[in-house]
């Protein structure tokens, strides 16, 4: 099951500061809800974990993130992540393209992620992934802004809120 998730947001910080944060996997991973980097293998390869909980369904992916491309001048990057669910329910692959451009005194960040979930989790993911990921993305942007502003934040995943977002998403669709 493949899903494409895009996010575009503006931030009131200078582009160099934004890029420095975004291009550092150790810092950026701290902003991703439920994620952590456990080991830096080499310059471009990291090991990490991502945990997700959709109501009764939990998935915890152990995996590897590789920086495929990182252009500090053009401010573009491509990351590829691969993970296996620690309960053996399947695997996930993600390719993320990110770009930062100056926008007045601030910066505009553009993300495109293509996520492919294989295995039994796809059953639940199919209908929830867009709503859940939109929610996760919002949480990520909040965290990232706080990071750059030097404010405190935590990247714990609130299961209830994710499920709540999904349910809200389902109902808002019906009234379209």
Partner 1 sequence: MIQCKTSKEIGGMGHSVKRKEDDRFVHGKGTYVDDIQLKGMLFMDIARSPYAYAKIKNINKDLAMAVDGVLAVITGKDLEQYNLHWMPTLMSDTQMVLPTDTVMHQGQEVAAIIATSREAARDGREALVPGIEYEVMKPIVDPFKALDDDAPLLRPDKEGQKDNQAWHWEVGQKEETEKIFAEADVVVKEQMHIPRIHVASIETCGIVADYDKVQNHLTTHLTTQAPHAIRTVIALVAGHVGLTEEKIRVIAHDIGGGFGGKVPVFPGYVIAIAATFLIGKPVKWIEDRSDNLTNSFARDYHITAEMAGTKDGKILASRMKVLADHGYTDGAANPSKFPTGMFSIGTGSYDYKHAFMEADAIYTNKPPGGVAYRCSFRVTEAVHAIERITDRFALEIGKDPAELRSENFIKKEDFPWQSPTGWEYDSGDYQAGLDLAMKTVEYDKLRVEQKAKWKEGKLMGIGLSTFTEIVGAGPSKDFDILGIKMFDSAEIRVHPTGKAIARFGTKSQGQGHETTYAQIIAEELGIPSKDIQIEEGDTDPAPYGLGTYASRSTPTAGAAAAIAARKLRDKAKKIAAYLLEVSEDDLEWEPGKWFVKGAPEKAKTIQELVFAAYTNHPQGMEGGFEATHYYDPPNLTFPSGAYICVVDIDPDTFEIKVRRFVAIDDAGHIINPMVAQGQVHGGLTQGIAPAMYEEIIYDEDGNALNGTLMDYLVPTAVESPNWETGHTVTPSPHHPIGAKGIGESPTVGAPPAIANAIIDALRPYGITHLDIPITPYKVFKALKEKGVLDKDITGFEA
Chain contacts with partner 1 (rule: CB under 8 A): 1-2, 84-91, 116, 118-120, 122-123, 126
- For residue 67, the minimal CB distance to partner 1 (Å) is 24
Residue number with CB closer to partner 1 (89 or 145): 89
Q: To 5 degrees, how large is the angle CA 156–CA 72–CA 143?
A: 15
- For residue 115, the minimal CB distance to partner 1 (Å) is 13
Residue number with CB closer to partner 1 (88 or 104): 88
- For residue 122, the minimal CB distance to partner 1 (Å) is 4
Residue number with CB closer to partner 1 (80 or 122): 122
Residue number with CB closer to partner 1 (7 or 60): 60
- For residue 6, the minimal CB distance to partner 1 (Å) is 21
Burial class (CB in 10 A: 0-12, 13-18, 19+), 140: buried
Q: Which residues contact 157 (CB under 8 A, 6 or more apart)?
A: 33, 34, 51, 52, 53
Strands (E), the chain: 2-11, 35-40, 45-54, 57-71, 76-85, 90-103, 106-119
């Amino acid at each position: 099951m493949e899903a494409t998730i895009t996010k575009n947001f503006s931030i009131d910080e200078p582009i160099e500061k934004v890029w420095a944060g975004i291009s550092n996997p150790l810092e950026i991973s701290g902003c991703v809800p439920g994620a952590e980097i456990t080991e830096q293998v080499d310059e471009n390869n990291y090991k990490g974990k991502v945990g997700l909980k959709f109501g009764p369904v939990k998935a915890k992916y152990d995996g590897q993130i590789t920086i495929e491309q990182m252009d500090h001048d053009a401010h573009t990057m491509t990351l590829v992540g691969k993970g296996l669910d620690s309960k053996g329910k399947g695997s996930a692959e993600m390719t993320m393209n990110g770009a930062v451009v100056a926008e007045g005194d601030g910066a505009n960040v553009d993300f495109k992620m293509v996520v492919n979930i294989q295995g039994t989790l796809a059953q639940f993911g199919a209908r929830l992934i867009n709503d859940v990921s939109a929610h996760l993305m919002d949480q990520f942007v909040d965290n990232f802004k706080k990071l750059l502003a030097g404010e405190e934040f935590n990247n714990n995943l609130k299961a209830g809120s994710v499920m709540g977002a999904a349910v809200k998403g389902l109902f808002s669709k019906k009234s379209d």
